[in-house]
Amino acid sequence: MKWQRGYRSSDVVDRRGATGLGSGLLGPFVAIGSKFGIVGILAAVGLYFAGRAFLGGEIPLSGTSTSAEERGATAAPDELTSFVSFVFDDAQNVWEKKLAGRGRGYERAKLVLFNDQTSSACGYGSAAVGPFYCPADQRVYIDLDFYRGLERRFGAPGDFAQAYVIAHEVGHHVQGLLGTGPRTAEGARRRRDSRSAESVQFELQADCLAGVWANSTQRRELLEGGDIDEALGAAAAIGDDRLQRQSKETVNPETFTHGSSEQRVRWFRRGLASGNIAACDTFSEKAL
């Protein structure tokens, strides 16, 4: 992918090197599940919409700032930090324009970089669960070491595989702004038995929205040879069926939370081909 070397973003919060999990995280911890289903997945509809937990009690939202966070905007970035900063800002800039075209405002999210573990308004997060988006504080969280595992463990190398990860999480932010997230959570509250299906629809829509952003990069000639294949490789690598096989489990579609490899690839492709939010209505599709 073509991008600006040395890029710095005011929307990136760098907590790497900070001690502790941040103050103010009280009450029962709620484990956060990765949007990529690496381990301990929590269904997306079970996350915190409007600052409330679907599973468990409320967690105060105070005191997550640290001195490392304050330093994040001024610290000289390494190349990977610059890259994810560029992708994060580019995706947000694209969505700002697209939502303006639909008569909607855009609230910018933040990208939080951390090592090993951190706190969020959705509870405790660790590197083990992979990247995640917290709607309660409108922040994407990622330990950049995740990309090493994406390449070595899941066989999905390349900078556009990394970009897809960020674009998927930004897609969750867009869902919240469009009202998809709260509506999905409410549906799950009413129909507990359909939580898995709701989660798959929710996650595949985020894949499609990532594809919509990729369409924009393609039209602006930011893509290089092999980039799309890298993103498709990442989408396929983290399908629920492939992850279950890798864990030597029986493949059981009824327990899927993110969709099969084929589904994730298909919906990313749909967004990529159309460049249109309307093409990403997974909730109206009879067959995903």
Read off the pLDDT of each residue in 169-179 and give the average, rounded to a whole number: 96
Residue given tokens 């190398």 in the structure block: 157
| pLDDT above 80 (res 183) | no
Closest by CA to 72, choosing from 59, 60, 84, 62, is 84
pLDDT tier for residue 43 given thresholds of 50, 70 and 90: very low
* Residue at 35 is within a domain: yes
* Residue at 68 is within a domain: yes
Closest by CA to 187, choosing from 90, 116, 282, 97, is 282
* Residue at 7 is within a domain: no
The token pair that represents 115 in the structure block: 């090592």
| pLDDT above 60 (res 126) | yes
The CA distance from 286 to 217, in Å, is 30
Closest by CA to 120, choosing from 44, 14, 18, 24, is 24
The CA distance from 28 to 183, in Å, is 25
* Residue at 74 is within a domain: yes
Q: How many domains does the chain have?
A: 1
Top pLDDT among 4 and 181 is at: 4
pLDDT tier for residue 36 given thresholds of 50, 70 and 90: low
* Residue at 3 is within a domain: no
The token pair that represents 262 in the structure block: 């084929």
* Residue at 4 is within a domain: no
pLDDT at position 285, please?
Answer: 84
* Residue at 61 is within a domain: yes
Q: What is the 3-state secondary structure (H, E, C) of the chain?
A: CCCCCCCCCCCEEECCCCCCCCCCCCCCCCCCCCCCCCCCCCCHHHCCECCECCCCCCCCCCCCCCHHHHHHCCCCCCHHHHHHHHHHHHHHHHHHHHHHHCCCCCCCCEEEECCCEEEECCEEEEHHHCCEEECCCCEEEECCCHHHHHHHCCCCCCHHHHHHHHHHHHHHHHHHHHCHHHHHHHHHHHCHHHHHHHHHHHHHHHHHHHHHHHHHHHHCCCCCCCHHHHHHHHHHHCCHHHHHHHCCCCCCHHHCCCCCHHHHHHHHHHHHHHCCHHHHCHHHCCCC
Read off the pLDDT of each residue in 36-46 and give the average, rounded to a whole number: 35
pLDDT tier for residue 65 given thresholds of 50, 70 and 90: very low
pLDDT tier for residue 77 given thresholds of 50, 70 and 90: low
117 lies in which domain range? Answer: 12-284
Closest by CA to 49, choosing from 69, 72, 30, 21, is 30
* Residue at 5 is within a domain: no
| pLDDT above 60 (res 44) | no
Residue given tokens 């009280």 in the structure block: 26
- How confident is the model over 220-258, as pLDDT tens digits? 999 999 999 999 999 999 999 998 998 888 898 888 999
pLDDT at position 72, please?
Answer: 43
pLDDT tier for residue 184 given thresholds of 50, 70 and 90: low
